[in-house]
Amino acid sequence: MITAQSSLFADCSVAVLGGTAGVGLETASQFAEQGARVVLLGRDRERGAAACEKIGLRAPLGDVRFIRVDATDPDDTVRAEQECRSVLGSIDVLVNTTGPSDHPRLLHTIPIQSVQQRINEIILPPLHMMFAALPEMRSRGSGSIINVASDAAKVATPGETLIGAAMAAIVMFSKAAALEAKRERVRINVLTPSLIADTPGAALIGSDPFSAKMFEKAIAMAHLGLVSPADLASMTLFLASPAASRITGQAISINGGISVG
């Protein structure tokens, strides 16, 4: 947990993809509370405005704005990254928190026609944002990127065949990119949670009998407690902070003890 004074990130500019809800919203809020200037990136302007208002209540002196982007579209992603830099001056920290729009399903129940869409909606947003942000970070010689993926990337689970494959792609992309970018002092790390309480993802899982039953079993294994958005946000702030200046290329599980690996 970050316990430093509220000026810890006073000179820091942060962009959060998926920052209008769940882990992204909590992460953006904690950065704002610590003095960072924050841009929320998402598809829905109304949700963006509502998220900025929520963060403003927690950090009344914060500088928080919303920029609309469809990060599955490479051109729109490049445009949004440029707009972020025009607002912030630079992107010191990029956080990607997007995820699937559908609950876990057994492979034989997924129509082949929907496979590409389901894979793309998970993989493309964080990869596109990294592609867009890395050139300026590398030329500047500093930057931190934190992606939120899933333990499905590490632990094979029935119902998460496509999700696991897509999340594993994010993890490996992040690790390899971390090796390439370390010479320019850009750090890239990944968080791989399991179920996260009080998020749209948890609600999506709970809406389906199969996935709800699957995650009930997982929750029973979380003897350290079910993970909250605040848990993920606190680790994100640590990874972005000077205290983690020697950490890169790591995929860190925060899951209450559901699994190890």
Enumerate the domain spans of the chain: 13-250
Q: Per residue in 96-128, pLDDT tens? A: 999 888 888 889 999 999 999 999 999 999 999
Encode pLDDT of 17-71 as tens digits: 999 999 999 999 999 999 999 999 999 999 999 999 999 999 999 999 999 999 9
Query: Where residue 74 falls among pLDDT bands split at 50, 70, 90?
Result: very high
Please state, rounded to an integer, the average pLDDT across all residues of the chain: 92
> What one-character DSSP code corresponds to residue 109?
G
* Amino acid identity, position 163: I
User: In which band, very low, low, confident or very high, does the pLDDT at 6 lie, cut at 50, 70 and 90?
Assistant: low
Place of tokens 């929520």: 54
Beta bridge partners, 184, equal none
Hey, what CATH class is 13-250 in?
A: alpha beta
First to last CA, the chain: 22
Is this structure's pTM higher than 0.85?
yes
pLDDT tier, 7 (very low <50, low <70, confident <90, very high otherwise)? confident
Alpha-carbon gap, residue 119 to 22, rounded angstroms? 21
